[in-house]
Amino acid sequence: MSDIFLSYKSEDRAKAQIIAEALERNGYSVWWDRVIPPGRTFDKVIEEELAAANCMVILWSEESVKSEWVRTEASEGKRRKILIPVLIEDVTPPFAFRLIEAAKLIDWDGTVPNPEFDLLLGSVSRMLRKVPAPETIQKKGDREEEERKKTEIKKQEEEERAEVEKQERMQKEEKDRLKKEKERQKEQRREAIKDAIQKNIHTVKRKVSKEIIIAMVLIFSILLLGYWIFPITDESNNGTVKPTPTPTPIPETATPTASTPIPTPLPKYINNSIEMEFVLVPAGKFMMGSGSKFIGSKPVHTVTIKKSFYLGIYPVTQKEWKDIMGSNPSYFNGDNHPVEYVSWNKVQEFIQKLNDKEETEKYRLPSEAEWEYAARAGTTTRYCFGDDPSELGEYAWYGANSVKTHPVGQKKPNTWELYDMHGNVWEWVQDEWHSTYDGAPTDGSAWEEEGISYRVTRGGS
């Protein structure tokens, strides 16, 4: 049985041979249906070889994307999490496989070194946990070179581990800082409320004093009025009425009004019982879409977000997913890594269980408009930081600097303190998929009225 199962369409046999032989030269055994043993059936042999392989390389071309057989093989590889896609022609993979990053070996003739083949080789090596061995019998110089490369790889891995530990340490320090800042803000709010209460007490006291004075004046006026209506008689004067002075009019007093309460502002940060962190996204207006060649981002249109809302500061982590769902479907494991290999329907199940746990109904996916509004963070440029793609590595894990997921929050956030909006993993939103923005809501709500089964992902992988 072979290390690698190579899936392709028969029309692409020549290209399949180039890739198979290149992998074999690096010490991997490859099965690619060149020979079916006598007495065996084609489908039975494929089933056995696919079951035995620990890695599947699939070649996407115009012919293979239309092949039901190739799709079936690819689905099995995806199910077993051993699938590595390769583009040998400039085509779009079938919808179910678009979220998996593909090596691009279009028009490759087998010449090495080649950066895309190196990416493929690295993915195969990690999946099989087997370092490539270009020759079975190596010369002394080759062995020394290999040892040097191994040392470099080990050094690189140690540096990566050190960098990850540094980032995690910085992230923890930042969390501690944010926690202290939240406590400081809470204390400020408590002091503000205390001052407001004291101020209101003084106001009430003043009003009470004023009302007592008014009441005394009114009682006195009533007494005067009674005296004026029922004058006192003088018995010594044979019952004649004594003349009474005209009562002095009492000045009118303004009626006191109740104080107007000052609304308490929403906190900038909140978290829940499983320590998911959220930041307040303010209401506002923005231009959604872009003028790029991609028709799906047109037309550019104005969207008004009327109410502020809270959005997760980081993508949902594997620890948070496990806390709610009790399992972890991810391929790249790590508590602080973003969860992956989750369907839109599974996300809905996660949200329902989270709402049940928190005894609320407020948790939901953002709409596509809310997601883009939050990602742009008030900017109008190509990226949240500007238009220069050379700066992208400071904000995102993507094809040029990574072939796997990374712990959340290691790159710079946008100005609204949201991390990993560019890169790391694709992110589900609530909307159904539409080919353009014609007819899209302009109030920031999710576009769901047509009952379409496909849903939208944003961000990047």
The CA distance from 13 to 30, in Å, is: 14
Per-residue pLDDT, 260: 62
Domain-located, residue 168: no
Q: Is 440 within a domain?
A: yes
Dig out the tokens for 446 from the structure: 């999710």
Distances (CA, A) of 399 to 1, 83, 335, 405, 425: 32, 17, 23, 11, 11
pLDDT of residue 131: 73
What share of residues in the chain are helix, strand, coil (percent, to 5)?
40, 15, 45
Letter string b/e over residues 33-57, b meaning 16 or more CB atoms within 10 A of that residue's CB: beeeeeeeeeeeebeebbeebbbbb
Could you say which of 105, 128, 151 is where a domain stops?
128
Domain boundary among 92, 107, 128: 128
Q: Which of the listed residues 128, 156, 174 is the one where a domain comes to its end?
A: 128
Distances (CA, A) of 162 to 155, 156, 166, 168, 410: 10, 10, 6, 10, 13
In a domain, 449, yes or no: yes
Q: Per-block average pLDDT, block size 10, for the chain (461 residues)?
A: 88 90 89 67 80 91 91 90 93 89 90 88 86 53 70 83 85 84 76 64 50 46 38 40 40 49 86 96 95 81 96 97 96 95 96 97 97 96 93 93 94 97 95 92 92 88 70
Flag whether 188 is in a domain. Answer: no
Number of domains in the chain: 2
Counting Cα atoms < 13 Å in the Cβ hemisphere of 437 gives: 21
Per DSSP, the three-state class of 201 is helix
This prediction has a pTM of: 0.48
Residue 357 counted as domain residue: yes
Report residue 60 as tokens: 């996407």
Please give the residue range of the domain that contains residue 104.
Answer: 4-128
User: Which CATH number goes with the domain that contains 347?
Assistant: 3.90.1580.10
Does residue 113 lie within any of the structural domains?
yes
- The answer as to whether 142 is a domain residue is no
Tokens for 266, please give them: 């929403």
What is the per-residue pLDDT for 237?
40
The pLDDT value recorded for residue 230 is 38
CATH number, residue 43 = 3.40.50.10140
Q: Is residue 370 part of a domain?
A: yes
